[in-house]
């Protein structure tokens, strides 16, 4: 359940916070309300007995949070077994990579999950200490900045060295300036709103992997998001 920040829901009493994007949200809510969390996990496990389902924990910041979430998942499985309810014994489990503490320790996290999904909206927000909903500073939160791209590269390298897949979700995955760079960085998957899919496919088709890798290496050496976008736009495809 990825709620809090800019995603409130009416059936959980969420008090006003001075900094809601830095507050009680996502996995932090689930870990402080374990019965509610396990209720969701049991439902997912029951569905996963018949359909291909994956579990992704949102806004993980520490290994302790991940391990506590996995422990509660194991408890949910044991409870279903005790009730003789049909459920999946194994479900692929991953995390949203959206906090810089995880990108810096991606190698350790990659050993404990089946996949990564990089949430570029929040990762950019937390990298630049910018509230992306605040029009006064939102311009600073451009995920094409090398500070974000370098973190993505670090996460991809950690994932692939441990044999797991890594995708990108968020606005960056459907950004035409970013797609060839993401291809060059080695992303396995791009998740975007469906109207962006035809455009994204067309861009991917126009780039070879080797050409995209060269572009990505050039982008990582630049000093601003504007320079990265100018680089991409200047390429003749």
Give a three-class secondary structure readout of the chain: CCCECCECCCCCCCCCCCCHHHCCCCHHHHHHCHHHHHHHHHHHHHHHCCCCCCEEECCCCCHHHHHHHHHHHHHHHHHHHHCCCCCCCCCCEEEEECCHHHHHCHHHHHCCCCEEEEEHHHHHHHHHCCCCCCCCCHHHCCCCCHHHHHHHHHHHHHHHHCCCEEEEECHHHHCCCCHHHHHHHCCCEECCCHHHHHHHHHHHHHCCHHHHHHHHHHHHCCCCHHHHHHHHHCCCC
The tally of CA atoms less than 13 A away on the side-chain side of residue 143 is 27
Q: Does the pLDDT value for residue 78 go beyond 90?
A: yes
Measured CA to CA, the distance from residue 68 to residue 43 in angstroms comes to: 19
pLDDT of residue 213: 98
Confidence class of residue 45 from pLDDT cuts 50, 70 and 90?
very high
Would you state the pLDDT for residue 13?
Answer: 72
As given in the structure block, the two tokens for residue 232 are 């991409």
pLDDT one-digit tens code per residue, 97-153: 999 999 999 999 999 999 999 999 999 999 999 988 888 998 899 999 999 999 999
pLDDT at 49 over 70: yes
In whole angstroms, how far apart are CA 215 and each of 109, 172, 183? 28, 16, 10
> Mean pLDDT across the chain, nearest whole number?
93
228 token code pair: 């990265």
On the question of pLDDT at 236 being above 60, the answer is: no
Model confidence band, residue 163 (pLDDT cutoffs 50, 70, 90)? very high
pLDDT on residue 84: 97
pLDDT for res 10: 73
Task: Report the alpha-carbon distance of residue 194 to residue 186 in Å, rounded.
Answer: 22
Average pLDDT over residues 63-92: 97
Amino acid 188: pLDDT: 97
Assess whether pLDDT exceeds 60 at residue 51.
yes
Q: What is the pLDDT of residues 14-26, one digit of tens each?
A: 677 777 778 877 8
Nearest to 21 by CA among 134, 150, 142: 134
Task: Give bridge partners of residue 237 from the DSSP assignment.
Answer: none
Look at the domain 92-237 and name its fold: TIM Barrel (3.20.20)
Location of each CATH 3.20.20.60 domain in the chain: 92-237
Q: What is the mean pLDDT of residues 220-227?
A: 97
């Amino acid at each position: 359940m990825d709620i809090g920040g800019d995603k409130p829901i009416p059936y959980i009493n969420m008090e006003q916070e001075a900094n809601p994007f830095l507050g009680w949200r996502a996995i932090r809510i689930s870990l402080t309300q374990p019965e509610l969390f396990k209720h969701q996990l049991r439902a997912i496990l029951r569905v996963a007995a018949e359909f291909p389902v994956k579990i992704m924990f949102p806004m993980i910041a520490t290994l302790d949070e991940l391990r506590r979430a996995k422990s509660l998942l194991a408890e949910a499985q044991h409870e279903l077994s005790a009730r003789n309810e049909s459920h999946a014994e194994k479900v692929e489990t991953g995390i949203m990579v959206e906090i810089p503490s995880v990108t810096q320790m991606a190698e350790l996290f990659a050993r404990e999950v089946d996949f990564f999904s990089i949430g570029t909206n929040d990762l950019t927000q937390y990298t630049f200490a910018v509230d992306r909903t605040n029009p006064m500073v939102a311009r600073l939160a451009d995920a094409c900045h090398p500070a974000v791209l370098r973190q993505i590269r670090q996460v991809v390298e950690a994932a692939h060295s441990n044999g797991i897949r890594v995708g990108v979700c968020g606005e960056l995955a459907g950004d035409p300036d970013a797609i060839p760079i993401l291809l060059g960085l080695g992303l396995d998957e791009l998740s975007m709103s469906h109207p962006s899919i035809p455009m994204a496919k067309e861009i991917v088709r126009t780039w070879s992997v080797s050409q995209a890798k060269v572009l990505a290496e050039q982008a990582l050496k630049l000093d601003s998001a504007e320079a990265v976008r100018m680089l991409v736009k200047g390429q003749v495809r």
